[in-house]
Chain A
């Protein structure tokens, strides 16, 4: 019987992805291209919010969108209809994007001519929170119909995001969703999180969000 030996490994499993994400951030800094990673559940309004953001900022910023979908082109077609370049990444069953997938999406874009690239991550509140995409800032949407208990169910997502957009506030009258409770729960997990209440459908509150985003892009580009 051979003797069992212990080998020290001491390695982070996602070290590869983290290194790729850091390298990507260096490249983005060199090109002065701001990368925003947008995450949410399916149906929370990522695509509609991106369309609103394009509408508000297209005269000020050169933008592109990377669309991640398990297996469809529907969202990318909606973005492309605005005249903004959209790159479709089919994740082939994967539930999230990682830095190398984003790298692949960026291959189709001329970074030097872009100020802002928005990643529409795969719709779910679990897996995307685990993988650094190389983005400069992470944003998430929680929509009113999903319920105000989500910070309790998906705490990691709320701790990794810089911004929380509470979307579909036009539904508030029809629901028992408690905005203050969400603000409090999100802030407990992440006191630095910036919170906007919006309706991507009606446009309510969108200006606050797009002005903040524009400010972040300007600050990054002048830094």
Chain B
């Protein structure tokens, strides 16, 4: 359900970055979404299609790229990537420590967009 506020955020931001004087239409929007953030790609496009009706972003395609989950080891400071499915066995691949803190891999970013 949090896809709805996230989608509202996307629409607001892309319209701010696409002034009506220079942009007639937003064609494609490139998003980065953290692997740890739950998001249904299909739903976010449905919400966007609905919310963007009548705006310069109508019919824009959302292209979602997943950003890997990164942790950092407290013991040896090694930063490493980990797959969501592997989180249950989370440990530093260098020194084997299980004291690792979350660094990145959540949240939603707009990278850029194609416009005409």
- A interface, CB within 8 angstroms of B: 2-14, 16, 93-96, 98, 126-127, 130-131, 151-152, 155-156, 159, 185, 187-192
In the bound assembly, the distance between CA atoms of A151 and B36 in angstroms comes to 12
With A5-B116, A11-B13, A156-B38 as given contacts, are A98 and B5 in contact (CB-CB < 8 Å)?
Answer: yes
In the bound assembly, the distance between CA atoms of A131 and B110 in angstroms comes to 17
In the bound assembly, the distance between CA atoms of A94 and B1 in angstroms comes to 7
Q: Which residue of B lies closest to A5 (CB)?
A: B115
In the bound assembly, the distance between CA atoms of A96 and B37 in angstroms comes to 14
Contact B90 A188 (CB under 8 A): yes
Q: How far is the CB of B78 from chain A (nearest CB, A)?
A: 15
Contact B113 A6 (CB under 8 A): yes
Q: Which residue of A lies closest to B101 (CB)?
A: A191
**Which residues in B have their C-beta under 8 angstroms from that of A10?**
109-112
Give a binary string over B87-111; 1 marks a CB under 8 Å from any A CB, 0 the rest.
1111100000011111000111111
**Which residues in A have their C-beta under 8 angstroms from that of B6?**
13-14
Q: How far is the CB of B97 from chain A (nearest CB, A)?
A: 9
Contact A11 B87 (CB under 8 A): no
- Interface positions, chain B 1-30, Cβ under 8 Å from A, are 1-2, 4-6, 9-10, 13-14, 17-18, 23-24, 27
- B interface, CB within 8 angstroms of A: 1-2, 4-6, 9-10, 13-14, 17-18, 23-24, 27, 36-38, 74, 84, 87-91, 98-102, 106-116
What does DSSP make chain A's interface, helix, strand, loop or mixed?
mixed
Contact A131 B2 (CB under 8 A): yes
In the bound assembly, the distance between CA atoms of A151 and B84 in angstroms comes to 11
What does DSSP make chain B's interface, helix, strand, loop or mixed?
mixed
Q: Which residue of B lies closest to A125 (CB)?
A: B38
Q: Which residue of B lies closest to A131 (CB)?
A: B2
Question: Given A93, A95, A126, A189, which contacts B90 in the complex, CB threshold below 8 Å?
Answer: A189
Q: How far is the CB of A159 from chain B (nearest CB, A)?
A: 5
Could you name 6 residue pairs across A and B whose Cβ atoms are closer than 8 Å?
Answer: A7-B115, A9-B17, A131-B5, A156-B38, A187-B98, A191-B101
Other 8 A-B pairs with CB < 8 A, given A7-B18, A9-B112, A14-B9: A6-B113, A13-B110, A131-B2, A152-B87, A152-B88, A156-B36, A188-B91, A188-B100
In the bound assembly, the distance between CA atoms of A4 and B112 in angstroms comes to 13
**Which residues in B have their C-beta under 8 angstroms from that of A188?**
87-91, 98, 100
Contact B2 A13 (CB under 8 A): no
Question: Given A7, A14, A95, A96, which contacts B108 in the complex, CB threshold below 8 Å?
Answer: A14
